[in-house]
């Protein structure tokens, strides 16, 4: 190329500007392509932005969940009741709910029975529930109320209520027999019996209390429930809040002398029934009837130091102290 030195320098500078401009445009075009963006997701500035957005969203979700849980926990300051027990009420269609109150301050309680959503409220236990349908199993929920909120509910059940009549033949007190009449609760899930209570009416004539022809003692403390044979339970309820009935301690059927002998008598009594865990209304076979027993060491049942008892030879090796032995047991749904 010809020209003056100035013209040659000007043309060279212009050519360099064109080359630089073209390179910049090529680079910009390359950065704007899909391949460049996708490649940048592995470590370019676009990856930082995308990762930050995802992390922020996840962090926000986690924080929200934690806050909700914390808020719920902070507003529920009432502890739950414990050891909830449900006993048959005085008449069919009623129940009595008892429990151990929580340690936190409480203003009252609500009991709900399902099915039906039947409710009862009270300031303290026990709480009576009415309006239940006889022979229907119910689940019971207890909620404690406080100035700052409610406790979580405590549920028990489904529960069924039953009546039992247990008879001991007494050949020496004809025509009177000894009879235990009671009620209990059966947990259909746990296959357990609770709240067995009732009245033991025994044909003791001429006892220390002078009963004629019969005397009764209330038994309201279920303190024993043990497996018996296949799918069964032997359940005992007592007059006192202790299983000590006989001289050696405990209530093993076959005892005769009162607990504490020859010193003071504590005056206990008990009745022992059998319950099928498959269906409590199942009639007991003779082998189960042989396991039934009772003892009355209250003043009404005493003959000197000897308690009035009922046992079988097949079950315990001897009859009762006046020849009494179990003859029948009938359980019906309440």
pLDDT at residue 202 is higher than 50: yes
Model confidence at 77, in pLDDT bands (50, 70, 90)?
confident
231 with 278: CB under 8 angstroms? yes
Percent of the chain whose predicted confidence (pLDDT) is above 70: 75
Non-local (6+) Cβ contacts of 85 within 8 A are: 97, 98, 99, 156, 185, 194, 195
pLDDT at residue 54 above 60?
A: no
Angle at CA of residue 272, ends 267 and 276, nearest 5°: 160
In order of their start, the domains of the chain are 5-75 (no CATH), 82-152 (2.60.40.10), 159-333 (no CATH)
Reported confidence tier of residue 76, pLDDT bands at 50, 70, 90? low
pLDDT at 230: 78
For residue 301, name the pLDDT band (cuts at 50, 70, 90).
Answer: confident
Whose tokens are 């296949």? That residue is 230
Mean pLDDT score, 125-132 = 98
Report the C-alpha gap between 230 and 291 in whole angstroms: 13
What is the rounded distance in angstroms from the CA atom of residue 199 to the CA atom of residue 206? Answer: 20
pLDDT per position as a tens digit, 82-113: 999 999 999 999 999 999 999 999 999 999 99
Query: What pLDDT does 25 receive?
Result: 37
- Binned at pLDDT 50, 70 and 90, residue 318 comes out as very high
């Amino acid at each position: 190329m010809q020209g003056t030195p100035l013209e040659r320098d000007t043309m060279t500078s212009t050519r360099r500007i064109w080359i630089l401009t073209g390179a910049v445009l090529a680079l910009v075009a390359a950065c704007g392509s899909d391949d460049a963006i996708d490649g940048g997701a592995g470590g370019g500035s676009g990856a930082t932005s995308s990762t930050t957005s995802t992390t922020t969203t996840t962090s926000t979700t986690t924080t929200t969940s934690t806050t909700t849980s914390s808020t719920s926990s902070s507003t529920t300051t009432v502890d739950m009741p414990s050891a909830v027990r449900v006993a048959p009420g005085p008449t069919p269609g009623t129940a009595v709910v008892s429990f151990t109150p929580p340690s936190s301050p409480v203003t009252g309680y609500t009991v709900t029975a399902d099915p039906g959503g039947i409710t009862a409220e009270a300031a303290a236990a026990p709480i009576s529930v009415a309006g239940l349908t006889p022979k229907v199993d119910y689940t019971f929920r207890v909620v404690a109320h406080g100035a700052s909120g409610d406790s979580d509910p405590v549920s028990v059940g489904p529960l069924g209520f039953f009546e039992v009549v247990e008879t001991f033949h007494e050949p020496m007190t004809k025509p009177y027999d000894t009879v235990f009449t009671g009620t209990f609760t059966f947990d259909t899930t746990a296959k357990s019996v609770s709240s067995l209570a009732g009245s033991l009416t025994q044909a003791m004539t001429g006892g220390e209390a002078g009963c004629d022809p019969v005397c009764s003692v209330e038994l309201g403390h279920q303190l024993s429930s043990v497996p018996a044979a296949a799918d069964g339970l032997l359940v005992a309820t007592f007059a006192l809040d202790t299983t000590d009935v006989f001289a050696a301690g405990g209530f093993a059927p076959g005892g005769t002398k009162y607990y504490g002998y020859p010193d003071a008598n504590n005056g206990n009594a008990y009745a022992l029934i059998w319950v099928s865990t498959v269906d409590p209304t199942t009639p007991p076979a003779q082998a189960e009837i042989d396991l039934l027993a009772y003892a009355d060491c209250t003043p009404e049942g005493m003959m000197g130091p000897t308690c009035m008892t009922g046992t079988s030879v097949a079950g315990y090796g001897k009859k009762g102290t006046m020849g009494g032995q179990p003859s029948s047991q009938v359980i019906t749904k309440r």
